[in-house]
Structures are given as C-alpha cells and as structure tokens.
C-alpha cells in the first residue's frame, strides 16, 4: 500500500475479468478496504494494460487467467514485466495447486479461487495491500518448482512486454513477416527481438523457444 493510501484512505484497484457479473462480485469483495475507492473495470488484457498506463497510482490488479488477450500465464508475466511495482492477485476458476504455485513463481502477490467466499476475498486483498501474500490455506502447494523449471520461469519473466508478444506469436506459428505486420514494426526489429528471446531463454532455436513458452500454458 502506498503512503498516500495509508494517509488518506484512497485507493485505485483494477478488476480485470471478461465476465461483468463476476467483476460485480469482486467489487463487493473490495467493500470497506478504502474510505475512497476507485475501481477500474477491464474485460481484456489490452484494457488492463491501458488502465495501468493511463493511471498514475494503481494499488492493485485483480486478474483473471482466462480472458481475451491472455494465453495461460502470459497475461500475468506480461503485466509483471511492464508494471513490476504493482501487486497482482490472480482470481481464477482454476484452483489446482500446480497452477497456483506457478502463478506465485511468476510473481503474483496472491491467488484467489473464484469459489472463495466474498468475506475471505476481502481479507486476502487486505493482506496483499499491506505487503503480504495470500493463497488458499486448504490447497497444499508443495515444493516450489525444481531448479530447471524455476530457472526457466525466471528467464520467461525477464522478457520485456514486446518480447513476450513476439514469443506468443512465435508459439502461434506466425512468421517474422506476419509478426512485423501485427506489431507494426520492421522484420529487422522482429529478428532482433527473436535473437534477444533466444539469448534470454538460453535456447538456440525458435522451436526450443516455443517449447519453453509452453510453460506459460495452464495445465488441463
């Protein structure tokens, strides 16, 4: 929580979910957290990015894993790389321990299953806003990822937002020319991004990069 929020009881939270009804439920979970609360609703990853870029002080993002513009964990890693100072709580219908553990390894400050009661969501959000983390106490997360997987997750998280876009497009089978068109950049720029991606991921080919990117997919 920022000093301004502590002093004045004001806060701004982004609720990013493509279902309006659930966005409404999340707004209920925010009740009483701030004396003056501004809630920005986003239904796509693009809208979430725009909200983050257009606002000065965002205290928290509540992010669904599955919505337009998001492929697996890519939305979380993208936002974390672009706005590392803003805490993100994943709020998802997926509640298996592997997915929760991976989200936390990718830098989420908390993970709230959508089946969580509103009052528990409220407590979880308060905990994260005061600098803590929160995951469901009844879901055993087990050990963190093995050294090799953990290293790959850190490498993926080091990609810039544009590099993450390029990697996602590589995974979709797009050629450099197609990626350049989609991003409105030159092919030379795309080639430079691909080279940087290979170096950061410690791989030698586009195919190996795509295999590494599969770690961004949600199991099941």
Residues 111 and 21 in one domain: yes
pLDDT for the residue numbered 97:
85
> Residue 32 corresponds to which tokens in the numbers above?
């009483």
As a whole number, the mean pLDDT across the chain is 85
Question: At 163, is the pLDDT very low, low, confident or very high (cuts 50, 70, 90)?
Answer: confident
pLDDT tens digits, one per residue of 49-100: 889 987 668 999 999 988 877 767 878 888 887 788 899 999 998 888 888 9
Residues 106 and 189 in one domain: no
Residues 100 and 10 in one domain: yes
**Cβ-based neighbour number of residue 52 at 10 Å:** 18
Please give the order of strands across the beta sheet that includes 36-42: 36-42, 10-16, 60-63, 88-92, 110-113
> Residue 207 corresponds to which tokens in the numbers above?
């195919």
Residues 153 and 92 in one domain: no
Q: pTM score, two decimals?
A: 0.77
Instruction: Identify whether 141 is part of a domain.
Output: no
pLDDT tens digits, one per residue of 111-126: 999 999 999 999 999 9
pLDDT tens digits, one per residue of 25-47: 888 899 888 888 999 999 998 89
Question: At 157, is the pLDDT very low, low, confident or very high (cuts 50, 70, 90)?
Answer: confident
Phi, psi of 39 (to 5 degrees): -110, 125
pLDDT for the residue numbered 13:
95
CATH number for the domain that contains residue 164: 1.10.10.10
Residues in the chain: 220
Whole-angstrom Cα distance, residue 72 to residue 23? 20
> Residue 14 corresponds to which tokens in the numbers above?
């982004």
Q: Domain of 158?
A: 147-216
Residue 86 · residue 109 · CB < 8 Å: no
Instruction: Identify whether 38 is part of a domain.
Output: yes
Instruction: Identify whether 113 is part of a domain.
Output: yes
Place of tokens 């590392």: 84
Per-residue pLDDT at 184 exceeds 50? yes
Count of domains for the chain: 2
pLDDT for the residue numbered 55:
66
Question: 84 versus 3: which is more confidently predicted?
Answer: 84
| Selection from 75-89, 92-106, 134-148, 195-209 with the highest mean pLDDT | 195-209
Instruction: Identify whether 159 is part of a domain.
Output: yes
Q: What percent of the chain has pLDDT over 70?
A: 89
pLDDT for the residue numbered 67:
84
């Amino acid at each position: 929580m920022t000093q301004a929020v502590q002093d004045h009881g004001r806060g701004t939270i982004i609720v990013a979910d493509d279902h309006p009804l659930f966005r409404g439920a999340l707004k209920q979970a925010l009740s009483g957290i701030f004396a003056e609360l501004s809630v920005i609703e986003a239904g796509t990853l693009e809208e979430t990015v725009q909200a983050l870029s257009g606002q000065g002080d965002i205290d928290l993002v509540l992010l669904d894993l599955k919505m337009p513009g998001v492929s697996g964990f890519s939305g979380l890693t993208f936002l974390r790389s672009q706005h590392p100072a803003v805490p993100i709580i994943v709020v998802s219908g997926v509640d298996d321990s592997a997915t929760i553990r991976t989200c936390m390894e990718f830098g989420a400050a908390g993970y709230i299953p959508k089946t969580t009661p509103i009052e528990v969501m409220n407590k979880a959000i308060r905990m994260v806003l005061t600098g803590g983390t929160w995951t469901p106490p009844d879901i055993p997360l087990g050990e963190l990822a093995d050294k090799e997987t953990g290293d790959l997750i850190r490498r993926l998280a080091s990609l810039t937002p544009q590099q993450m876009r390029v990697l996602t497009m590589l995974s979709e089978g797009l050629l450099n020319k197609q990626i350049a068109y989609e991003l409105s950049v030159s092919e030379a720029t795309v080639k430079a991004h691909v080279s940087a991606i290979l170096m950061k991921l410690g791989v030698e080919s586009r195919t190996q990069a795509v295999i590494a990117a599969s770690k961004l997919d949600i199991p099941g």
